Structure 1
Amino acid sequence: MVEVDKTPSFLFSTRFVVTVMAFFGYCLQYMLKINMGIAIVCMVNNTALREASVSDNHSKIVVNTSVLDSKCKISSSHSSGLNGNFVWDKSIQGFILASYFYGYIITQIPGGWLSTKYGGKNVLGLSMLIASIFTIVTPFTARWGYIPLSVCRFIIGLAHGAFWPAQSSIFVFWAPIKERTIILGTSTSGAWIGNIIALPLGAYLCVSGFDGGWPSIFYIFGIVGCVWSILFMFIISDTPETNRFITESEKEYLINEAKKIGQAKNSKKISTPWKQIFLSKVCWATFIAHFCNNWGNYLYLTQLPSFMKDVLKFDIKSNGLMSAIPYVACALFTAVLGIVSDRLMSKNIISRKKLRKLFNGIGLAVPAAAVICLSFVDCSLPYLGVACLTVGLAFNGFYWAAGPLVNINDIGGKFSGLIFGITNTFGTLPGIICPFIVGFITKNRTQAEWQIVFIICACIYCVGALVYWIFCESEIQPWAVIKNDDDDDVNKKKENVF
């Protein structure tokens, strides 16, 4: 085997291509995830819902609305200017938005297990292809009724559930330790770029798209997802050994890096250490931190357009633009902080464990403070609300750049995909619970009701920051180390000598 004296250049290397494809994969996965939250603002007939609400409780609604509108810096006349064909109340909207996550949670662990056993490439490519096809047919199911629509969203979530665990299993062999944070940080920042693209583009298509506006969101996003799936299956491989484009020097470099952390390719049949994983303190700290982070994440993803309309009174096009601004900040912070964290560790300024704890703490504590401030904002100061959201999501980039999710590859080795599947199972629960809680609390769509929503979110953020600070570890765990068959042969020879 050729000895690799120096690290092959990352720029335009095969691992660079893997990073770019992963970036666009995360981007599309989030575009397909949040498109319903955007479209539903245009699909629902708010005038009919308002008239029904007023008839139920006339005096209360009229007084609250008139008082609020008198304070608004932005005219709320738009609220009756764009109406869809569907009279779905808040509970039905919550059910539709949550249906994706019912499917999403089911395939997290199976997706990680399948990726560990058979490689992530096929699992990942197929999951995106299925989700993209069902995204294209979403408008047809919506016109049949909210139940068929919810079933369609359930299937999309079912397919997408395997995406992140499968991608994590690919990173085991393509993201060496000293490049891991920048590769994972850059790749996962694609999720925020997906939001940045989807929110304003979706808002524009709602008003100006074809086939009635909102259906074009699903057609365009779904077609792009199909194209990505085909390209991914052709370009990417599970490991460097099976890649058709990689250079010999890069291949040897990555193989040697994998061996350093006990992830040999030619190893014995692997038994999954289920018991050790579920008894691991750092794994449970990761599960809890991800649950708490995703409570805020899914609150924004599924409810931000509604909050922008209900409380801050932005029209649909401004809604999409203003909703995207916080994600621009998060994407920039995530990408830059990935580079910064690598530099801090490579120069021995801070240990990996301390860095993971610090980045998770900042990534949850600052957003907690931001949502508390946001809870006191109404439409008299709409741009202050956008500023609070921007600060909160920008600093959440600390979490994504070098926090618990990156740490999964530090502690889990070849089982990283499986651990990520378990982690994301916990992290998906907020996507199911949050829309229902928000729908129940915000029945009248008032600022006071949204204040309760945001204070709950801040408390959950703080729990995640505290638990991970106490129990974080960043070395590969003993149960995740896999011995090479060749190593066993060498040990046997040594024993025979003595």
Structure 2
Amino acid sequence: MARWSPPQEAGRLAGLAYSGSQIGAIGSMFITLFCKHWCGGSWPSLFYIQGNLSLLVVIICIVLVTDTPSVNTRISVEEKEFITGSQRNRGLCPVKDGDTVPWRGMMTSFPLWAILVSHTCGAFGSYVYLSCTSAYIQRVITDNTNKNILQATPHLGMFVVILLTGHITDHIRSTDNLSTTSIRKIFNSIGELIPALVLIIAGFLPSSQSTIKLTLLIMGVSLTGCVYAGGYIVNVIDISPQHAGIAFGISNTIASAFVLLGSATIAESVDVEYQGNWEILFVVTAAVYIFGGLIYLVFGSGSLQHWNTTSCTTDHDETHRPDDIANSAATPTTGAQGGETCASLPIDFIDEDVRT
């Protein structure tokens, strides 16, 4: 994704990519209903349909997808130059033989650790939200038609929020009114701290308020979509576009492992018929959300990190490291009138945490 998204369009591209998983979840529900009512309730038909659709997507990806715009033959020269030019301006260059991964810099990076912690907490929280909302719908809704529609509602809410967040964050970044760091922290807080508050409120509502509780759960899980195109998910592209894939791979692996552990714990410890267990689960999940959100608020960053070590060769065969260019951006030069002006360099290289 880092190699296909210009900085000013990263949110929208992330929104389009990650909203697809929600459409997939909704589609799976309706495919299941189709197989149940029109295929004689045959489970094999469900697997045949899902498997063939997945195989079709794989074939499309093999035919159409390329690693980078530079080797893609289906986009115009102008678009290719626009994307690759914007990447050089933010420290993203073609991978060359001999390039190494800055493991030490990554493992000692507070912004990367903030992403990892927030991702782990957010993944656990999202799992609990979706699982509990689904279980609650099964428990309180008796009409099967309404039950099926409501099961799809959380995913539809996340789909809308993810797409909107991508467009909103890109628009705010284009105005230069807020730094990328501030934007990421604001939307990550909306996607973790507000859902945590909603969980606490829903957990202590009496059982008689089932409609309000269900509405709160759907609203809370929908807001978690803010982290995809506006929070920690897309943030790896900001801090290190050159190593975004590796950084996200590490973060996603640890987060997935934590979710597996959490799901086993939930399955063993929670009796859905006992109100007290719901309260405990909601409060614990809210605490996990709050911990991840606060860590990101303190240590998160939208600035290009010094360990994004790469060198790009210009037309004059000159090489520069991004941090060298960032330092030179603050070096005054003498203008035509004898005054001092800042060097004319892409703003993406300047550390946004110290921008004035």
Whole-angstrom CA distance in 2 between matches of 1:191 and 1:249: 31
Partner residue in 1 for 2:109: 280
For the pair 1:359 / 2:187, whether they are aligned, the reply is yes
Alpha-carbon spacing, 1:328–1:378, altered in 2? closer, same or farther (3 Å): farther
- Report the Cα offset of residue 331 of structure 1: 1.3
Alpha-carbon spacing, 1:376–1:194, altered in 2? closer, same or farther (3 Å): farther
Alpha-carbon spacing, 1:314–1:449, altered in 2? closer, same or farther (3 Å): farther
Whole-angstrom CA distance in 2 between matches of 1:399 and 1:264: 27
Whole-angstrom CA distance in 2 between matches of 1:223 and 1:324: 22
Whole-angstrom CA distance in 1 between matches of 2:89 and 2:69: 15
- Report the Cα offset of residue 192 of structure 1: 2.1
Partner residue in 2 for 1:340: 168
- 1:480 alignment partner, SS class: coil
Could you tell me whether the CA contact under 8 Å between 2:129 and 2:221 is conserved in 1? no
The equivalences for 1:108-123 within 5 A come to none
- Report the Cα offset of residue 339 of structure 1: 0.9
- 2:3 alignment partner, SS class: helix
- Report the Cα offset of residue 318 of structure 1: 3.2
Partner residue in 2 for 1:184: 14
Whole-angstrom CA distance in 1 between matches of 2:66 and 2:192: 35
Partner residue in 2 for 1:387: 215
For the pair 1:327 / 2:145, whether they are aligned, the reply is no
Whole-angstrom CA distance in 2 between matches of 1:343 and 1:321: 33
Please tell me the residue identity of whatever aligns with 2:219: V
For the pair 1:402 / 2:230, whether they are aligned, the reply is yes
Calculate the TM-score normalised by the size of structure 2: 0.82
Whole-angstrom CA distance in 2 between matches of 1:491 and 1:398: 37
CA RMSD of aligned residues (A): 2.3
Give unmatched runs, 5+ long, in structure 2: 321-356
Please tell me the residue identity of whatever aligns with 1:384: I
- 2:2 alignment partner, SS class: helix
Partner residue in 2 for 1:455: 283
Partner residue in 2 for 1:411: 239
Please tell me the residue identity of whatever aligns with 1:185: G
Q: Among the aligned pairs, what percent are the same residue?
A: 27
For the pair 1:198 / 2:19, whether they are aligned, the reply is no
Whole-angstrom CA distance in 2 between matches of 1:456 and 1:339: 33
The equivalences for 1:261-276 within 5 A come to 261-265=90-94, 267-276=96-105
Partner residue in 1 for 2:127: 298
Whole-angstrom CA distance in 1 between matches of 2:319 and 2:156: 53
Alpha-carbon spacing, 1:172–1:456, altered in 2? closer, same or farther (3 Å): same
Alpha-carbon spacing, 1:403–1:260, altered in 2? closer, same or farther (3 Å): same
User: Of the candidates 217, 232, 237, which is equivalent to residue 46 of structure 2?
Assistant: 217
Aligned pair count? 320
- Report the Cα offset of residue 408 of structure 1: 0.4
Q: Deviations over 1:137-195 (max 9, x none)?
A: xxxxxxxxxxxxxxxxxxxxxxxxxxxxxxxxxx1211010111111122212222223
User: Of the candidates 226, 230, 236, which is equivalent to residue 55 of structure 2?
Assistant: 226
- Report the Cα offset of residue 341 of structure 1: 1.1
Alpha-carbon spacing, 1:212–1:275, altered in 2? closer, same or farther (3 Å): same
Partner residue in 2 for 1:132: none
Partner residue in 2 for 1:78: none
Q: Which has the higher helix share?
A: 1
Whole-angstrom CA distance in 1 between matches of 2:319 and 2:137: 64
Alpha-carbon spacing, 1:284–1:220, altered in 2? closer, same or farther (3 Å): same
Alpha-carbon spacing, 1:453–1:317, altered in 2? closer, same or farther (3 Å): farther
Could you tell me whether the CA contact under 8 Å between 1:205 and 1:213 is conserved in 2? no
- Report the Cα offset of residue 472 of structure 1: 0.9
Comparing 403-412 with 254-263, greater Cα deviation is found at: 254-263
- Report the Cα offset of residue 251 of structure 1: 1.1
Could you tell me whether the CA contact under 8 Å between 1:288 and 1:426 is conserved in 2? no
- Report the Cα offset of residue 304 of structure 1: 3.9
Q: Deviations over 1:208-230 (max 9, x none)?
A: 25364444433322211110110
Alpha-carbon spacing, 1:476–1:223, altered in 2? closer, same or farther (3 Å): same
Alpha-carbon spacing, 1:448–1:483, altered in 2? closer, same or farther (3 Å): same
Partner residue in 2 for 1:125: none
The equivalences for 1:471-490 within 5 A come to 471-485=299-313, 489-490=317-318
Whole-angstrom CA distance in 2 between matches of 1:377 and 1:217: 38
The equivalences for 1:368-379 within 5 A come to 368-377=196-205
